[in-house]
Amino acid sequence: MKRFVCFLLITLWLVPVVCAGAETAVIFQEANTSYRTGDHAKAAELYESLIEREPRVATFYYDLANAYVRLGKLSRAILNYEKALRLDPRNGDIRENLRYTRGLLEYRVEDTRNWYLKATEVVLKYATEREVYAVLLAVLFIFLAGGIFYFLNGRGVFWNPWQQFIFIVLLLAALVAFGKEVQSNVIRDAIVMQKECEARYGPSEHDQVAFRMGEGIKVFVMDRREDWSRVLLTNGESGWVKDSDIAEVKG
Amino acid sequence: MRKILLTAIVMGCVFAPSLQAEDVRVSASLNKRLAQVGEEVRLSIRVTGQSMNLQAPRLSQLDGFETYYTGRASHISVVNGVSSANVEFSYTLIPRRTGRFTLNPIEVQVGQNILKTEPLEIEVSGGAQGQMSGPQSMPQRVATQPSRPSPVAQPVSQDQSSAVPPGTDDNIFVQAWVDRTTLYQNEQMLLTYSLYTRYDTRYEGFDKEPETSGFWIEEFPMDRDVPRETVRMNGKRYVKADVKKLALFPTAPGNYTIQPGSLKVSIREEQQGSNAFDEFFSDSFFTGGAFFARRQNRLLTPPPIQLVVKPLPEKGKPASFQGAVGSFRLSATIDKDKVKQNEPVTLKMVIEGEGNIETITRPKVPALTGFKTYDADTNSKLFQTENVIGGTKSFEVVFIPKEEGNSFVPPLEFSFFDPRQEKYVTLKTPNFPIQVEHSDQNFQMPQELAGNAIFQKQVKSEGKDIRYIDEKLPKAFSTHAVDLIYTILLWGDLVLFVLLVVFWMKDRQDRLFSKDQALRRRKTARRTASINMNKLKKLARSSDDKDTTVFFADLEKAMIQYIADKWNLSAYGVTRQDLAETLTTHFGADSALLKDVLALYRLCDEFRFGKGSIPQASKKIGLKIFQDAVNRIERIRQ
């Protein structure tokens, strides 16, 4: 009787999971077929529905971005490439297509940041937040386990060279994790979605236009004020744009 | 007595810009390590690496040795698509003194890098210095390069010379002159240094190297017996000798100024008068025969030289022209004229003549449909005759016929500009007929030529587009693996952290208790009382007489132990009187606590002496008194 109840519970839990997975696979195949046959609009629609179901799968964002490139919607394509890159940062195809798509844009922003900022960005973008935090936790685990071993062993010195080394590694891992946290959640990157976007000196239509930029340009959101966001470009220019003109990558 | 002489050797090499220093190895060797004074020793400097163009390096003067440049040999081979070059520069050293000499690492400049050879040692024993047998045709005396740090340190000089400012003595001077002041790009020009002297003079080499940037330089051999002649200038008789000759090849058109540098000579201090002419270029000039004589050093600086380098004419420039200037001959042979399909035929071309042979590149091979074509070996050999630099360079090209039948190894064109005739000359290899027999063997690249095809197409991008979509659904585990690891580590860290805190607190408490037993008993009194209370409760539930007896005995013990623990009294020797006094001291004689404790003792006594007359309810009363007493004391103590 007990076995039967267990079997029933497991079945009840597994059936929806398996069914959902099978349904996802069917939609994915259909989307791929649409893309292959040139029906990119339908493919994009299907990939969008897959993202609603599984928002943490980089492949869906990448394929959706490809469909948008084919449809000429470059800003949406870049936004989805960026999202895919957040989930799968070491994927060469995503990087290459993102680079290619940026080359199709009307506007280009020169990156005048210091070399160490660029290098830090490149290094931190090589791993996901979870991966960075997992490394930090792994080092912390080793450090704590070393402490417990000391108490269980009952001999030796707690602050021995090994613990000191692990502690230094822990500090470095914490530093990297802090940088990743800042990159992911403090410096929020966004993509300009409008064909032509005006950045102003203040958060209103009355303020003077500071500069104009086109779709697909990557900006960093520094501040929010009602329906306006203050954005910073990689060339150092900053201005206020309407929230509706941009879309945050993490959003 | 052991003498160590450190002599300076510096090599200057000019490499092709693309040359990578890390691909080049430099080594030096002597054909013998033991030699006698006056005996020839061969020094070889070998440069190996990827295909490269090198100028003959110049060694600085070695004190205690005469040095002669005797030529170069180079070999370029291409194996598995990688070309390798081996250039060997040969020098003859003739020791003039006995002793052990160490030639420090020879520096070779490769592009922007300096490579060094291993240090070399040579021991020179005594010999018939006056009867030395030097090379009969000493090709070249090596120039000094004092602008570079000397790799060979010199011991204390036995030469008591002192420098004399140049230009103050018209009895000795030097003229640097060129055989032409207008020439074509890559055409040879001869730079000659003529020494005029009225003293017993010894030429010591360059004190300051000539500035010849923009020129490819080859040094000329200089006979050991330098031709000398007596000339009359400004009413004075001089002995004149051409002490140095350089062949310069301008690499680009334009106006140039050559700074000839400074020559260092030494003269004997004694005035020799007209007899000096007879001693000029005697042993003392090169052989060091007057090495121990008192001498003076002189620096002689000739004036700069202006040159005009003309560009090569565009008119009539053949398509096959690749920059060769001079006068050349071309010959070619093939190794076989009857082959099977897919069997290689090697065409060997030899270009021979006067000009900068090292810069000659392989004639272009036309694109062929019926052949696969591969590069093979390249060899070159340089020679200097009179006032002209020349040499031979051979190239091997492998043709592999793809189709059977009669065919031809096509002629290859080599063009050069002849500056004497001022026109371009084109030479062709013969049209070699070959007979190709049928073979069923499929084409297979010869292993030594793999990847070395001349006409392999370069892979290049035809256009740009996005990469294709990813059609593989990622596995659920791979998607969530990091999340899973993260979660496990997070909970693991939490557990470890809690455990660590617990271990730390326990460790701290143990340390405290080990120092203060009274504190340990006081802190653990309540816990001990609780344990006893639980035991008593179990006993209280039993109606067995034996258990009842044990109950009251344990109840009294528990009460005594608790109070003894609290006030650090001995749990074994303590009496009721001691406990009563302790409680009276801390709570007063009229305290309810004292009364309760005494009541508990009475209850225990009543059972002990009444033997079973105590009802079951008394156990609960006893337990309650014990519990209340503990709680009251704990509250008060806090």
Residues B161 and B140 in one domain: no
- What single string gives the DSSP state of each residue in A162-191? HHHHHHHHHHHHHHHHHHHHIIIIISEEEE
> Which of B89, B212, B206, B217 is closest to B150 using CA atoms?
B206
- Sequence-separated (6 or more) residues with CB below 8 Å from residue B36: B95, B124, B125, B126, B127
Q: Is B488 part of any domain?
A: no
Residue B360's contacts (CB-CB under 8 Å, 6 or more residues apart) are B322, B324, B328, B351, B380, B393
Same structural domain for residues A93 and A134? no
Do residues B467 and A93 make contact, with C-beta atoms less than 8 angstroms apart?
Answer: yes
Which residue has 């006409």 as its token pair? B455
Instruction: Write out residues 203-232 of B within 8 Å (CB-CB) of A.
Output: none
Q: Are residues A215 and A124 in the same domain?
A: no
Q: Which of residues 448 through 477 in chain B touch A, CB cutoff 8 A?
A: 464-474, 476
Q: Report the alpha-carbon angle A16-A21-A24, nearest 5.
A: 125
Torsion angle, alpha carbons of B439, B440, B442, B446, to 10: -40
Spatial separation of the C-alpha atoms in residues B378 and B108, rounded to whole Å: 23
Residue A219 within a domain = yes
The predicted pLDDT at position B454 comes to 63
Query: Would you state the pLDDT for residue B1?
Result: 37
Mark yes or no for CB contact B474/A57 under 8 Å. Answer: yes
Residues B72-91 pLDDT 10s: 666 665 555 556 677 777 77
Best residue in A148, A152, A157, A163 for a mutation probing chain B (most B CBs within 10 Å) = A148
Over residues B427-433, the mean pLDDT reads 89
Q: Is position A111 within any domain?
A: no
Mean pLDDT of B454-465: 70
A57 contacts in chain B (CB < 8 Å):
474, 479
Q: Domain residues for B168?
A: 157-311
B564 and B584 part of one domain: yes
pLDDT(B6) > 80: no
Which of A30, A74, A95, A151 would best serve as a mutation to test chain B binding (most B beta carbons within 10 A)?
A: A151
Same domain, yes or no, for A133 and A208?
A: no
Cα B372-B377-B380 angle, rounded to 5 deg: 140
The domain that holds B256 is classified in CATH as: 2.60.40
Percent of chain B with pLDDT over 70: 75
Distance of alpha carbon B72 from alpha carbon B381, whole angstroms: 7
Question: In CATH, what number is assigned to the domain containing residue B571?
Answer: 1.20.120
DSSP at B32: -
- Tokens describing residue A193: 């979605």
Separation between Cα atoms, residue B375 and residue B449, nearest integer Å: 8
Q: Cα distance from A21 to chain B (closest Cα, Å)?
A: 9
DSSP A215: T
Does B480 reside within a domain? no
Structural domain count of chain A: 3
Structure-model confidence comparison of residues B107 and A232, the more confident one: A232
Chain A CB contacts of B471 under 8 Å are: 32
User: Which tens digits make up the pLDDT trace of B213-246?
Assistant: 788 888 776 766 677 888 887 778 888 888 888 8
Is residue A54 one of the residues assigned to a domain?
Answer: yes
- Greater pLDDT, B592 or B330: B330
What pLDDT is recorded for position B144? 31
- The closest alpha carbon to A88, from A64, A114, A65, A61, belongs to A61
* Residue B289 and residue B435 share a domain: no
**Is B478 within a domain?**
no
Bigger pLDDT: A20 or B103?
Answer: B103
Of residues A155, A151, A240, the one with CA closest to residue A200: A240
Stretch A174-184: mean pLDDT, rounded? 92
Distance CA B130, CA B309 (A): 48
CA atoms of B278 and B237, how far apart (whole Å): 13
Q: Is B319 on the interface with A (CB under 8 A)?
A: no
Looking at the structure, tell me whether residues A6 and A31 fall in a common domain.
yes
Interchain contact, A97 vs B467, CB within 8 Å: yes
Confidence tier at B523 by pLDDT (50, 70, 90): confident
Give CA–CA dist B8/B150, Å, rounded: 4
The average pLDDT across B285-311 equals 73
Structural domain includes residue B476: no
Chain B neighbors of A25, CB-CB under 8 A:
473
Query: Any residues with CB less than 8 A from the CB of A161 and at least 6 apart, and which?
Result: none
Q: What φ, ψ does residue B148 adopt, rounded to 5°?
A: -100, 155
> Containing domain of residue A96, as a range?
2-103
Indicate whether B444 pLDDT > 80: no
- Residues A86, A20 within the same domain: yes
For chain B, how big is the Rg over CA atoms in Å?
52
Residues 522-541 on B with a CB inside 8 Å of A are none
Tell me which residue in A59, A96, A148 faces B474 most closely, judged by beta carbons.
A59
Residues 6+ apart with CB under 8 A from B567: B582, B586
Tell me the three state secondary structure of residue B611: coil
- The residue among B469 and A6 whose pLDDT is bigger is B469
CATH for A38: 1.25.40.10
B503–A148 C-beta distance less than 8 A: yes
Same domain, residue pair B184 and B306? yes
Residues B47 and B70 in one domain: yes
Q: What is d(CA B321, CA B249) in angstroms, rounded to the nearest whole number?
A: 18
Q: What is the DSSP letter of B465?
A: -
| Short-list B404, B402, B454, B399, CA closest to B432 | B399
Q: How far apart are CA B341 and CA B441, in angstroms?
A: 8
- Is residue B415 predicted with pLDDT exceeding 90? yes
Highest mean pLDDT among A54-68, B69-83, B450-464, B515-529: A54-68
Q: Are residues B3 and B150 in the same domain?
A: yes
* Contact check, Cβ <8 Å, B469/A63: yes
pTM: 0.50
Closest-CA residue of chain B to A63: B469
For residue A32, give the nearest of B469, B483, B489 by CB distance.
Answer: B469
A with B: how many residue pairs have Cβ under 8 Å apart? 74
Measured CB to CB, residues of chain A less than 8 Å from chain B are: 21, 24-25, 28, 32, 35, 56-59, 62-63, 66-67, 69, 93, 96-97, 100-101, 103, 128, 130-131, 133-134, 137-138, 140-141, 144-145, 147-148, 151-152
Tell me what the mean pLDDT of segment A220-248 comes to.
92
Query: A37 in a domain, yes or no?
Result: yes
For residue B415, give the 3-state DSSP assignment.
strand
Count how many Cα atoms sit within 13 Å of the Cα of residue B59 in the half-sphere of its side chain: 30
Residues A8 and A72 in one domain: yes
pLDDT value of position B146? 31
B169 and B306 part of one domain: yes
Return the residue of B nearest to A131 by Cα: B482
B298: which strand partners?
B164, B265
pLDDT tens digit sequence for A94-122: 999 999 999 988 888 888 889 998 999 89
Residue B193 and residue B243 in contact, taking contact as beta carbons nearer than 8 Å: yes
State the pLDDT confidence band at B270, using cuts at 50, 70 and 90: low
- pLDDT of B297 > 70? The answer is yes
The residue out of B138, B156, B174 marking a domain boundary is B156
Best mutation site among A17, A130, A150 for testing chain B: the one with the most B CBs within 10 Å?
A130
How much is the mean pLDDT over chain B?
A: 76
A70 to chain B, closest Cα gap in Å: 9
Quick check: is A7 in a domain? yes
Q: How confident is the model at residue A238 (pLDDT cuts 50, 70, 90)?
A: very high
A174 CB neighbours in chain B (<8 A) are: none
Token pair 């009669």 in the structure block, residue:
B406
Cβ distance A134 to B476 less than 8 Å, yes or no, reads no
Q: State the Cα–Cα distance between residues B609 and B615, nearest whole angstrom.
A: 14
| DSSP code at position B468 | P
pLDDT score, position B502: 93
**At B271, is the pLDDT very low, low, confident or very high (cuts 50, 70, 90)?**
very low
CA B109 to chain centre: 14
User: Using CA atoms, how far apart are residues A229 and A226, in angstroms rounded to an integer?
Assistant: 8
The C-alpha atoms of residue A124 and residue B393 are separated, in whole angstroms, by 56
Q: What is the CATH number of the domain that holds A198?
A: 2.30.30.40
CB A179 within 8 A of CB A37: no
CB B120 within 8 A of CB B101: no
Answer yes or no: is A236 within a domain.
Answer: yes
CA-nearest residue to A87 within chain B is B479
Domain boundary (B259, B276, B311) is at B311
A144 vs B contacts (CB less than 8 Å): 493, 496-497, 500
User: Are both B305 and B187 inside the same structural domain?
Assistant: yes
- Is the Cβ pair B500, A63 closer than 8 Å? no
Q: Is residue B55 included in any domain, yes or no?
A: yes
Domain boundary among the residues B156, B186, B206 is at B156
Average pLDDT over every residue of A186-205 = 91
pLDDT score of B137: 35
Average pLDDT over residues A228-249: 93
Q: Is the pLDDT of residue B290 over 90?
A: no
Residue B400, domain member (yes or no): yes
State whether ipTM is beyond 0.85.
no
pLDDT tens figures, B353-382: 998 888 888 888 877 778 888 777 788 888
Of A8-12, B56-60, B194-198, B616-620, which one has max mean pLDDT? B194-198
Residue ranges with strand state E in A81-162? none
Query: Does any domain span residue B243?
Result: yes
Q: Say if A109 falls within a structural domain.
A: no
- Please give the backbone phi and psi of residue A9, each rounded to the nearest 5 degrees, phi first: -65, -45
What is the distance between the alpha carbons of residues B396 and B359, in angstroms, rounded to a whole number? 17
Indicate whether B144 and B175 sit together in one domain.
no
Cβ <8 Å between A147 and B486: no
